[in-house]
Structure 1
C-alpha cells in the first residue's frame, strides 16, 4: 500500500506546547505511522511514497465542531420557514453544509438534531461515499417535551417512561449519542429561561443512555435546567447561558461550583448568543467606510449584548477548567452559516484562552469530550490522519484558523 509523506513548515500536534519546525507525517492505510523531522520521515518511508509539501503552513489535527444542525440553512430565516421544507430538501441542505464545514478544516462534527431520519440519512450517505463531509456523530431527533424546543423534529416525550422509550428508539435507529432539550430555546412558544424537564426526567435519559453505552448532551440555556443537568449526570452541557425566566443573564457562583466539581463538559456556543457573524460583517463595513449610521448603531447594540455573554463566560472560567470547554458553532440556526468554527475560537480568545488553548479545545479536548480521543484529536502514531493546514501559526494568531490551505481525511487530501 502506498504511503504518503505530508510535510509542513510547522506542526501543532494538539497536545500543547510550541509547534515544531520542518516536520512531516507519514501516513499509511489512513493512519499516522510516524511523526518526525522531515529528514527522518523521508528515511523511514517505503520506496515510492508520495510526498505532499505544504510549504510554510502549519499542520494541525482536523478541527472538531461539537454542535451543528446540518439540515438547517443558517440563512437568517425563522425556524417556522426552515422547518416548512421537505425532509428531502433538508438532506440536500445538509450535504451542502457538510461540504462547507469540511473545506473549513472541520473534519469531525456532532449533528445535534434534525427532523425524522434526516441526520441518519446524511451519515449513511457519508459512509457510502455518496457525499463528502466531516466524520459524523448523530443524535437523530432531539428528545423534547410537548411543545418544547425543536418539537418539530418529532421526538416528543413527557415523563420518565416516555423518555426511556425515546432513548431506546433512537439507539435502535442508530444514534451515536443522546441529545435532550432541558430548557426552552428559539422555538416559538418556548421560554429559554425555564427548564423543560425535571432532574428525574433527565436522569432517566442518562440512565437509559448509559445502558446502551451512549453519552448524553443537554440543551441548557436556563440556569434551572443547568442545575438539573448537573444533578442528573448529563455528560455535556450545551449553551450554559445562566438565563433566568425573565430572559436576563445572571451568573450563579454556586451553580458554577457544582459544574466544576462534577467535571461536566461545556459547549458554550458563543457565536450563537453573540451574533458574531453579524458583528463581523458590520465591523468590516465600519472599517472600509461603507457602514451607514444605522449600521454603526446596530453594531454598538450587538457588541454590548455580546459583552454580557462573554462576561458570564469569563466568570465561569474562574471556576471551570478550560480543559472542559468544547467549541461548538450551532451552525444552521438563525444566521449561523457553516464553515465558521473560527468565530468560536476567536471568542474563546476574547474570554481568556490563548490561541494555542483555543486550538487545543477544538482538537484534543473536543475528541475527549465526545469519546473519540483514541482515534482523533492529536497528531500521534496510530491515530486517523485527519489533518488541516493553515496559512500562519494558529497557536500564536487565532485568525490563522480562517486561512485553511489543505484538508486531509484519513490521509487523503480533500482540499
Structure 2
C-alpha cells in the first residue's frame, strides 16, 4: 500500500462537485459543481482565488485546461444547458476573464478534452460530439458537429492518434467509436461487454480504462479493445464514477467511489495501492483527478451530496468539499543519507586487478604448455643466473605438465 496524506480540505461549493482539473504546472485547481459555480484555487496554499458564477446556464458538468505547463492561462468548462465558456488570464498573477461562449450541444455537456498538438477542443453532450478550434482571440470555431447517435448518451471523449482523431464512448450501447477529424470520417466502431460510465486513455494511447457500472473497472488494449485486466470493487450506488491515470509514468489508475472513498490501483499488477477516505460511508466521490511531478503526487477528490442517504438507509452529513491528497516519494537526499563504504570500493578494485593478472598468467602458461619446447626454453632463460627456488618449482611444474600432455597424446 502507498501512504497518502490529506494535505488540504477546500470548502466553498454548496452542491455536488462534478468536475475537477489541475493546471499543467500543478499550481491551480479548478472545481465545478451543481451550484453553477466554478472556483479557482491556489493548490499550493489552499486559498480561493476566484469565483465564476453561471446561474443562468445551470450546473457545471465538465472542465478542462488549455495549454501546457508553460502556457496554462486558459480553461474551458461546460454547463447543463449545453454551453461552453472560455476564460483566460494575462499572466499568473492576474484574474481569469471571460473570453467567449458557444452553444455546443442540445443537452448537458458530459465531457471536454484538449489537444495541444492542434490546439483543439473536443466535447460530447446530448448524444453528439463536436470538435472546436481555439482562435488567437479566445473564441471557438466549430470544425465538426456530429449528429446524435440515436438515443444513446455519449459519456466520454478522448483525442487519439496524436490529436488527429477522437474516440467517443457511449453509456448504454457499450460502443466505442473512433472518427478522424480532417476529414471527418468514421474509422472504426467496436463494442465492449459492459456499459461505459466513464472512460479514459493512457497518455501513450495503448490502454483504455473503463468504469463499467457493474463490478468495477476494466483495462483494455487500445485500439484492439482486448480486455487484459479487471479491477473489481463493490458497487452500492450505480452512479458513473470518474477514472483517471496518475502517478509515475501514469501507471496508477484512480477512480471515484460510492461509499465515501476513492481507490488507487496499480495498472500493471492490478492490486489496490490506496484507499482515500473522503467522508462518511455512503458519500459519493464522483469527481477525481491527479497530478504528478518529480517532487510529489497529488490526488484531488470531490464529494457529492446526492448520497444524503447511504446504501444502508442511514442519513449522513454530505460535505460538498474537496480533499487534496499528497504522496511524497523518497527524496534523493534521504537515499544518500546511507553511509557509503569506501573500503568495499577498494576491495572491488583489488579484485578486478587480481582477475586481470590471473588471466594474463593463465594465458601465458597455456601458450607455453602448447609449445613442444616450453621447458627447454624456460631452462635456457634461467641458465644465465642461478635460479631461485620459486623459479626451479616453476620449471618442475612445466616439466610435469608437458609429460602429462605427452602421455595424453600417446594414450589417444
TM above 0.5, one fold?
A: no
Which structure is richer in relative contact order (CA contacts within 8 A, separation 6 or more)?
1
Larger Rg computed on CA atoms: 2
Normalized per residue, the structure richer in strand is 2
Normalized per residue, the structure richer in helix is 1
